[in-house]
Structure 1
Amino acid sequence: MLKLGVNIDHVATVREARYRGCGHGEPDPVEAARLCEQAGAHGITAHLREDRRHIQDRDVWKLREIVTTRLNLEMANSPEIIGIALRLKPDIVCIVPERRQEITTEGGLDVAGQREAIRETRQRMNEAGIEVSLFIAPDPVQVEAAASTGTQFIELHTGAFAEAWPDPAARAVEVERLRQAAELAHQAGLRVNAGHGIHYQNLRDLYRVPHLVELNIGHSIISRAVMVGLPAAVQEMLALMRDYPAGGGAA
């Protein structure tokens, strides 16, 4: 069964637009996480950025108290955030790149260029009982590098696929890149997640990508929730995901 992790960062973005620095405000990402779980989500994802532009420290500690499925902390490989993660003990961390000027995480992690630093963080997390995922482009070099760090998961960056989706020819190229990367990762003993830019219209194209364990989806679900409510938005996405074939890779 393909699992759904709901990224609640955009709930916090809306809150911070009005209540930044107040220590309170609405909408509450913690309550959003509760509603997502009640609607059937298999996990909750939150990115505690170094610049704290959306999710705040108080959010992740409250999330750790209330999340009953799987808490996925997205994080930069930086000393401050590593320290927080080791104290927080989420179920899994996903190490991502961060650039201060970006609106959201753009591009995959350059694992090949920083293997030792990532391997060290992976080891520290695993010793604390925390699984590790690396957010990478569907690039064979990065897949191989990820496998060499001993990580448990990769999360394939689907941003290029999402951008190419309106063009059938470009879409086919990006789906094939994802398919090949997922196959290579599976052969290397990695479990495969995917995320970034996945929405209700393009999800079915990912049926052709094999071995997917979980999709991490945020913006499209939160956007849909404005119209139909968060529980319904989660359930609509879950309904689309139920047709993912066992093992993936459907034509």
Structure 2
Amino acid sequence: MSERVRLGVNIDHVATVRNARGGSHPDPVRAARVALAAGGDGITAHLREDRRHITDRDIEALSALCAEAGRPLNLEMALTEEMLAIALRHRPHAACLVPERREEVTTEGGLNVVAQADDMARAAGTLSAAGIRVSLFIDPDVEQVKASAAVGAQVIELHTGRFCHAVGDAHGVEFRRLAEAARLGHSLGLEVHAGHGLNYETAAEVLAIPEIRELNIGHFLIGEAVFIGLDAAVGRMRTVMDGITA
């Protein structure tokens, strides 16, 4: 039996709905609790510089919840001094460095680790010294994978957006890029994760790549929750993943 692939549930968009009207409902911490009970292995949250969804108070509460549940919190964050200080204060299980632009709706691509190698290495050293696993969100590009290993990351998360949106022959091309990047990352001692744009079908496809150890999924699960409930959406994703990995 293959090792069980972990499911990280990103609850950012619960906070997006809450913030649309203000107040405290719906509560992303309650969503995190439901997701963990339904089969999620950990919680992912992106504290953006402009606080458009997750807030500092959310991170405090999510840190406490994950610690109580004995489950990992994956803090997605831009590479800024402010975000490094927040990560060092809360000491999440992992910090996933992601590119961030104020005008984007969602993260549109991976980090350019090659071009930012010195800054990435300094951040990776600081976070690792604090006992925080360092993950870099990158496109499935061999040079970015090599650079991620060189700067001291323990994990890479492969951006699956292009794969999920590609059709026809392009879909197969993007799958092969993911598979090649995953193989290389694994050979360099990196743990390989994947995420962005995944649904039940594309998650099952990605899990045919044996080196991938974790999927991080948010928007699709929160969208499905509107129709079938968050516990059912997470439970179905867990069933899909177990069917592939068993």
TM-score of the two chains, using structure 2 as the length reference: 0.95
1: CA distance, partners of 2:121 / 2:228: 43
3-state DSSP of counterpart to 1:124? helix
Deviates more, 1:199-208 or 1:105-114: 199-208
Select the residue among 10, 14, 37 that pairs with 2:13: 10
RMSD value, Cα = 1.0
Q: Which residue of 2 aligns with 1:65?
A: 64
Q: CA deviation at 1:205?
A: 1.5
3-state DSSP of counterpart to 1:208? coil
8 Å Cα contact 1:175-1:208 kept in structure 2: no
Q: Which residue of 1 aligns with 2:36?
A: 37
The percentage of counterpart residues that share the same residue type is 52
Q: How many residues align?
A: 240
After TM superposition, what 4+ stretches of structure 1 lie above 4 angstroms from structure 2?
A: none
Unaligned residue ranges in structure 1 (runs of 5+) = 247-251
2: CA distance, partners of 1:94 / 1:181: 18
Question: One-letter code of the match for 1:158?
Answer: T
Q: Which residue of 1 aligns with 2:243?
A: 243
2: CA distance, partners of 1:4 / 1:126: 23
8 Å Cα contact 1:221-1:230 kept in structure 2: yes
Q: CA deviation at 1:209?
A: 1.9
1: CA distance, partners of 2:209 / 2:217: 16
Question: One-letter code of the match for 1:73?
Answer: L
Equivalent residues in 2 for 1:112-131, closer than 5 Å: 112-131=114-133
Select the residue among 80, 84, 89 that pairs with 1:82: 84
Equivalent residues in 2 for 1:190-209, closer than 5 Å: 190-209=190-209
Q: Which residue of 2 aligns with 1:51?
A: 50
Equivalent residues in 2 for 1:95-174, closer than 5 Å: 95-164=97-166, 167-174=167-174
Q: CA deviation at 1:40?
A: 1.5
8 Å Cα contact 1:49-1:55 kept in structure 2: yes
Q: CA deviation at 1:245?
A: 3.9
Q: CA deviation at 1:168?
A: 3.0
Unaligned residue ranges in structure 2 (runs of 5+) = none
Q: Which residue of 2 aligns with 1:185?
A: 185
2: CA distance, partners of 1:143 / 1:119: 14
2: CA distance, partners of 1:226 / 1:208: 29
Question: One-letter code of the match for 2:213?
Answer: V
